[in-house]
Amino acid sequence: MTNHNLYAALRAGFPAELDSAAIETETGLVYSWRDIEQGSAMLANLLASLEIEPGSRVAAHTDKSVEALLLYLACLRAGFVYLPLNNAYQSSELDYFIGNAEPAVVVCSGRNFGWLSKLAFQRGVRHVFTLDDDRSGSLLERASHFGQQHEVVSRAADDLAAILYTSGTTGRSKGAMLSHGNLLSNARTLHAYWDWRADDVLIHALPIFHVHGLFVASHGALLAGAKMLWLSKFEPKAVIERLPRATVFMGVPTLYVRLLQEAGLTRELCARMRLFVSGSAPLLIETFRDWQRRTGHVILERYGMSETVMLSSNPCRAEDGERVGGTVGPALPGIGIRIVDDRDAALPAGETGPVQVSGPNVFGGYWRMPEKTAEEFVADAAGRRWFRTGDVGRLDERGYLSIVGRSKDLIITGGYNVYPAEIEGMLNELPGVAESAVIGVPHADFGEAVVAVVVAKAGAQPDEAALVATLKSRIAGYKVPKRVLVASDLPRNAMGKVQKNLLREQHKALFTG
């Protein structure tokens, strides 16, 4: 039987010379391909020794490090399910994720071990380890006692490889279940479509708790046997310093905006680069044009989701077509994208409507939410299964997709998804707040900024700084409103529903003048 384990496919992409450099960190530390193979083997052997059930979840709430990437690879090769968690998440958020996913193992940074281990043990987690970005922690200490050889566990294409939590409009996060087949099909498609080569060098400046950094960037380099210049976090000057040695860079629009602010960014510096990729949020056409003028390179915009990995992409090769700013390109090979009406009937080119997608990359469903899963899929007359993305878009005559809107409440700030219902629920519980509405407004740096409009209870005077400080202690920083505005009431329609479109229009110039 063919082994569809994703790690086996990634491992097959390693170069023959395993002692050559695979990853170089900002401190100058170099990891060889042999280090990746042996390090992930030791971690896989440790996980296997815990005698946890096949398919058990391993949750990681850690800072970015090469060892954290090795933990992910170890989970794949040992047949466990990787659960990456944003390291900005606070206790209330983690309590939900751990309670819902019921991981057998939690790995966290040492500074959070005290409160997070208590929370995990209360939720029935059997094993909690620490892992820090300086190559320390109990996970590595325990793994050092295990062998450097490990036989990759056989997995079927439909076996679960990872769960990525994505917020919903109700405020309740949903765990998107991605299989080995989902991830491998997308990695191979991008490998071919983006012309990955063994002599490519990727500047990896993205977090590894979401699709863009963990799957698109890491899988691309590993499958190609290409070197990575590893940055623990994005820092414009550090990226610019590495551009002459690199060929590929991936970022969210915010990163490109910040790089353009650096005087050192020149055409000469980018002479060796062959591909700049942008995603996770819409790229402003001004940024697209400014980048081309400044560097001589045209950014490749693409479209994907936690539930699907990558769906469409502007062409990489000139012979396949031009890269068109304001679009995310045509559907990737083997993937279907259609625009539909309110009856799920496909619309012709040029029409605007909900975006639905289909293909081997599309996830199987939401973890322990069969009813929600059923709601989000529809079958066409031929029996093909289509996923409702929640985005609104249109396809032109060439098949290029433009995303013109999103599900009614979603805010994308700096590449991160924020759903207002979650923030509103917390605001409404705070002293002096009668009700609230959270919206996204244009922001030159983040694309969109989170803004809250609150109505005070009778006789109360909510303090903006106090509300923001309280939220910062409870939720990830990117979710915290950049402004909290006090209003006498909220605009509503005849049905009593808050008209957020009016609020967005009213405050659209809050950060842009």
Question: How far is residue 270 from each of residues 284, 296, 297, 426, measured CA to CA in Å?
Answer: 21, 8, 8, 45
The average pLDDT across 497-503 equals 84
Q: Tokens 């987690």 identify what position?
A: 125
- Residue 361: pLDDT band with limits 50, 70, 90: very high
Q: What is d(CA 253, CA 443) in angstroms, rounded to the nearest whole number?
A: 11
pLDDT in the model for residue 15? 98
3-state helix, strand, coil in the chain (%, to 5): 30, 25, 40
Q: What is d(CA 503, CA 487) in angstroms, rounded to the nearest whole number?
A: 11
Residue pair 394/339 in contact (Cβ under 8 Å)? The answer is yes
Give the pTM: 0.85
Q: What is the pLDDT of residues 170-212, one digit of tens each?
A: 457 899 999 999 999 999 999 999 999 999 999 999 999 999 9
pLDDT in the model for residue 168? 44
Q: What is d(CA 130, CA 139) in angstroms, rounded to the nearest whole number?
A: 6
Q: What angle do CA 287, 333, 339 make, to 5 degrees?
A: 70
Which three-class secondary structure state does DSSP give residue 28? coil
pLDDT in the model for residue 493? 67
Q: What is d(CA 327, CA 471) in angstroms, rounded to the nearest whole number?
A: 35
DSSP 165: E
Q: Could you give phi then psi for residue 423, rounded to 5 degrees?
A: -70, -40
Q: At residue 408, does pLDDT exceed 80?
A: no
**Strands 275-278 and 57-61, how do they pair?**
unpaired
79, amino acid identity: G
- Residue 405: pLDDT band with limits 50, 70, 90: low
pLDDT in the model for residue 417? 78
Q: What is the pLDDT of residues 287-343, one digit of tens each?
A: 899 999 999 999 999 999 999 999 999 999 999 999 999 999 999 999 999 999 989
CATH architecture for residues 327-405: Roll (2.30)
Q: Minimal CA–CA distance to 63: which of 208, 184, 177, 163?
A: 208
Q: What is the pLDDT of residues 55-94, one digit of tens each?
A: 999 999 999 999 999 999 999 999 999 999 999 899 989 9
Q: What angle do CA 138, 141, 143 make, to 5 degrees?
A: 105
Nearest-10 crossing angle of helices 253-260, 285-295: 50
DSSP strands (E only) in 14-149: 21-25, 30-32, 57-61, 81-84, 105-108, 127-130
Question: How far is residue 109 from each of residues 97, 135, 144, measured CA to CA in Å?
Answer: 17, 11, 18
Q: What tokens does 315 get? A: 């062409």
212, amino acid identity: H
Burial of 342 (0-12, 13-18, 19+ CB in 10 A): exposed
**Strands 275-278 and 174-179, how do they pair?**
unpaired
Q: Tokens 């009614």 identify what position?
A: 408
Q: What is the pLDDT of residues 261-281, one digit of tens each?
A: 999 999 999 999 999 999 987
Q: At residue 494, does pLDDT exceed 70?
A: no
The CATH code for residues 6-233 is 3.40.50.980
Domain with CATH 3.30.300.30 in the chain: 411-506
The CATH code for residues 411-506 is 3.30.300.30
pLDDT in the model for residue 26? 96
Among the listed ranges 102-116, 243-257, 348-362, 423-437, which one has the minimum average pLDDT value?
Answer: 423-437
Q: What is the pLDDT of residues 7-36, one digit of tens each?
A: 999 999 999 999 999 999 999 999 999 999
Residue pair 90/164 in contact (Cβ under 8 Å)? The answer is no
Q: What is the pLDDT of residues 445-490, one digit of tens each?
A: 999 999 999 999 989 999 999 999 999 999 999 999 999 999 999 9
Q: How many helices (H) and strands (E) does the chain have?
A: 15, 25
Residue pair 312/332 in contact (Cβ under 8 Å)? The answer is yes
Domain with CATH 3.40.50.980 in the chain: 6-233
SS (H, E, C) 38-72: HHHHHHHHHHHHCCCCCCCEEEEECCCCHHHHHHH
Beta carbons within 8 Å of 497's beta carbon, 6+ residues apart:
none
Domain with CATH 2.30.38.10 in the chain: 327-405
Q: What is d(CA 324, CA 343) in angstroms, rounded to the nearest whole number?
A: 30
For the chain, give the mean pLDDT: 94
Q: What angle do CA 317, 360, 305 make, to 5 degrees?
A: 75
Question: Which percentage of the chain shows pLDDT scores above 90?
Answer: 85
Question: How far is residue 5 from each of residues 77, 161, 164, 211, measured CA to CA in Å?
Answer: 7, 9, 18, 18
Q: What is the pLDDT of residues 318-331, one digit of tens each?
A: 999 999 999 999 99
Longest CA span, the chain: 73
Q: Minimal CA–CA distance to 162: which of 52, 73, 252, 42?
A: 73
Residue pair 478/442 in contact (Cβ under 8 Å)? The answer is no
